[in-house]
Amino acid sequence: MLKLYPPLEARKTGRMRVSDIHEIYWEESGNPNGLPVIAVHGGPGGGSSPEMRRFFDPDIYRIILFDQRGCGRSTPHSELEENDTWALVSDMEAIREMLGIDKWVVFGGSWGSTLALSYAVEHTDRVHGLILRGIFLITEAEIQWFYQDGASRLFPDAYDRYIAPIPEEERGDLLHAFHRRLTGEDRKARTEAAKAWACWEGETISIQGPSSRPARFEEDSFADAFARIECHYFVNKGFFPEDGWLLKKAKEKLKGVPGIIVHGRYDVVTPLATAWALTKVWPDASLHIVPDAGHSSLDSSIVDQLIRATRTFGKLFG
């Protein structure tokens, strides 16, 4: 089974002013003359991590990471104004132009798959191909499944902790109940809601369950940006014109664009049905269903398939 490449330091880092409010962090590692790839983190609001560099052979790839608006090392922290899907697509294009890259591979998981697809349907001519994990399209069905009550059937213990900050009379619409607290003036209620929201995802990303929750999901600063920005995007339906819009655009725009999709069979956060639907409208994408994995990109079987995918694209486009 293939494992992550050894730890790798960023070779170049920088900051880019992308609006009157926002400044984003970006970095570059690997081979400066290699195959360009932009790795898109999840959330939204999750921020990039050093582990993301390790999915790529540093001798083959020129690896670009960035922190999306309001999270990670980008500033201002947890800011919702001027923060939407199309602003982030514009930021990616600005990074590409600044670095003088003609075309690149786009790599992303979970919300990173949403943003990668959004970028690809807007700038198809700038994409060699897409490597995606844990497909998420921000449809009403997906939001209801994970943030209302669908996933509660599999993780009732974690679900009770998730809904604890919300009074029983407001639990019929958890998304908006959390949104009121995450955008309200009561700082204590905001922090409590943010940590409950973040830990719900942290406790369900792996088939190991709550015991494998990453520590950062309980950190106040991380949880605040993660929960606020996610909820902001989901309340606004991903800033798409209609439900299911991204699937329709993929069918129209991605013909001829190679794709590799890796998805855990037991992914509770972003169920497999969404990836299955995407491959039906995007015949140039191959779907690899991992039989013993959930949502986490660091599940060993997911890592194995993602490394195989980056090696495939390295040979195809390098």
Q: Give average pLDDT by consecutive 10-residue segment, the chain, 318 residues.
A: 98 98 98 98 98 98 98 98 98 98 98 98 98 98 97 96 98 98 98 98 93 89 98 98 98 98 98 98 98 96 98 96
What is residue 142's predicted lDDT score, i.e. its pLDDT? 98
What is residue 215's predicted lDDT score, i.e. its pLDDT? 86
Gyration radius of the chain over CA positions:
18
Active-site positions?
A: 110, 267, 295
- Phi, psi angles (nearest 5°) of residue 105: -80, 140
CA dist 229 and 223 (Å) reads: 10
Judge if pTM exceeds 0.95. Answer: yes
Contact (Cβ atoms closer than 8 angstroms) between residue 30 and residue 63: yes
CATH architecture classification, 12-138+239-317: 3-Layer(aba) Sandwich (3.40)
What is residue 318's predicted lDDT score, i.e. its pLDDT? 84
Pairing verdict, β 12-17 and 23-30: antiparallel
User: Which part of the chain is CATH 3.40.50.1820?
Assistant: 12-138+239-317
What is residue 211's predicted lDDT score, i.e. its pLDDT? 83
What is residue 292's predicted lDDT score, i.e. its pLDDT? 96
Q: What is the DSSP string of 174-215?
A: HHHHHHHHHTSS-HHHHHHHHHHHHHHHHHHSSTTGGGG--G
What is residue 68's predicted lDDT score, i.e. its pLDDT? 98
